[in-house]
Amino acid sequence: SYGFGLAGIFMLFGMLQFGFAQKIFGTIGLSPKHKNRIDAEAVNYAENNAFQQPMEQKAEIIPAHVNRDRIIVIGVFAFFTIFFWWAFEQAGGSMTVFAESYTDRALSGNSAMMFKVVNTLLTVVPMIILTVVLTNLFRKTFAKYSLSNIFLGTSFVIIWGIVIWMLLREFRADATEVPASWFGILNSFFIIALAPLFSKMWESRYNPSGPVKFAIGLILLGLGFAILAYGGNTIEQGAKTASVSMVWLILAYLLHTLGELCVSPVGLSYVSKLAPIKLVGLMFGIWFIANFIANYTAGLTGSFIDEITTKHSISYFFLIFTFIPIAAGLVMLGLNKMLKKKMHGIT
């Protein structure tokens, strides 16, 4: 398809952009025996821009039992994150099926115009912000990394062309139908809109412990699927199509994003805080193995949507993703005191 073709072109441009701007990284990522092959310009750049840690700072000696307890906490977090991403990743599968086959996406009159305006704002405003950022980047780096900037600029011009073409086609269309894939952008929008609020909240006195944040995230995720189950309760058993309100999907994506903001950045942060210095890479590897398991089981479970819908209903299918994350969240709440103790002061 055209989408995969464009993705391939942009991946090629991205590789070329990275290749022509490697010197910007200096000696970062190179083995010591290769560092002497780096030209003086790259070395000077790295020395002038790298974050230097004071030499007088010594690595803290942490008792073995503390490291052991913290590794256990990472393992518990990794285990429970499987439940979160297992359900959350239904966004790319069963939730898209729900949007495609069971949601009324046809709009007319004022509703159609409102969607066109909202869609335009959600698309154009981020593009304008990126344009300003990239323009400033070009001014600072074009002299040294001209080819890299040319490939980046070319990619951005193509993207602007696609955006303008898409919006013109949408406004000229006789009938308006929300694409099923459009709901996927709600997650990104809600993250951008709500992340500053969450950041401020975590910095205030309303800052729960890591396990509690995990529990809240899992429960919010389950409630999002509860909304979908409620919205689809009028769909008959075995029905292949229906026309329920898209409001249910929007609310579900909102709750899922709220849950993600409680789990995703918090989980990665605690892995880096809790992992022993020598095992940071291994611990992150274990964390992403948990994500792999979650994504695999998400696809496997989502593949049963037709079978479960035929035997029971679409609401029954979404209730599976309601009860399991909520149950996992309640268990995490119960483990809060024990996990906080094993974190040994890490907050």
pLDDT tens-place string over residues 265-300: 888 888 888 888 888 888 999 999 999 999 999 999
The structure tokens listed for 342 are 């094993």
Mean pLDDT value across residues 178-206 = 87
CATH of domain 65-105+185-343: 1.20.1250.20
As a whole number of Å, the end-to-end CA separation of the chain is 48
pLDDT of the residue at 323: 96
Give mean pLDDT, residues 119-142.
88
Over residues 221-264, the pLDDT tens digits come to: 999 999 999 998 888 887 888 888 899 999 999 999 999 999 98
Q: pLDDT band for 202, please (50, 70, 90 cuts).
A: confident
> CA–CA separation, 300 vs 294, rounded Å?
10
Contact of 215 with 242, CB cutoff 8 Å: no
Comparing 227 with 12, which gets the higher pLDDT? Answer: 227
Tokens of 297: 């089981």
Residues 173 and 40: their CA atoms lie apart, in Å, by: 57
Q: Write down the pLDDT at residue 34.
A: 54
Query: Residue 166 is encoded by which pair of tokens?
Result: 């898409």
Residue-level pLDDT at 56? 42
pLDDT of 60: 65
The more confidently predicted of residues 70 and 35 is: 70
pLDDT at 243: 83
Per-residue confidence (pLDDT) for residue 36, from 0 to 100? 53
Q: Which residue has the higher pLDDT, 65 or 81?
A: 81
Assign residue 344 a region: left if phi > 0, alpha if psi is -120 to 50, beta otherwise? Answer: left
Tell me if 313 sits within 8 A of 231, measured CB to CB. Answer: no
Which has more pLDDT, 69 or 82? Answer: 82
Calculate the CA 227 to chain-centre distance: 21
**Domain range list for the chain:** 2-49, 65-105+185-343
Please write the tens of the pLDDT for every residue from 83-128: 999 999 998 888 999 999 899 888 888 888 888 999 899 889 888 9
Residue partners of 235: CB distance under 8 A and separation at least 6: 102, 242, 244, 313, 314, 315
Report yes or no: 175 and 113 within 8 Å, Cβ to Cβ: no
Separation between Cα atoms, residue 340 and residue 347, nearest integer Å: 8
Q: What is the percent of the chain with per-residue pLDDT over 90, rounded to a whole number?
A: 33
Higher pLDDT, 52 or 21: 21
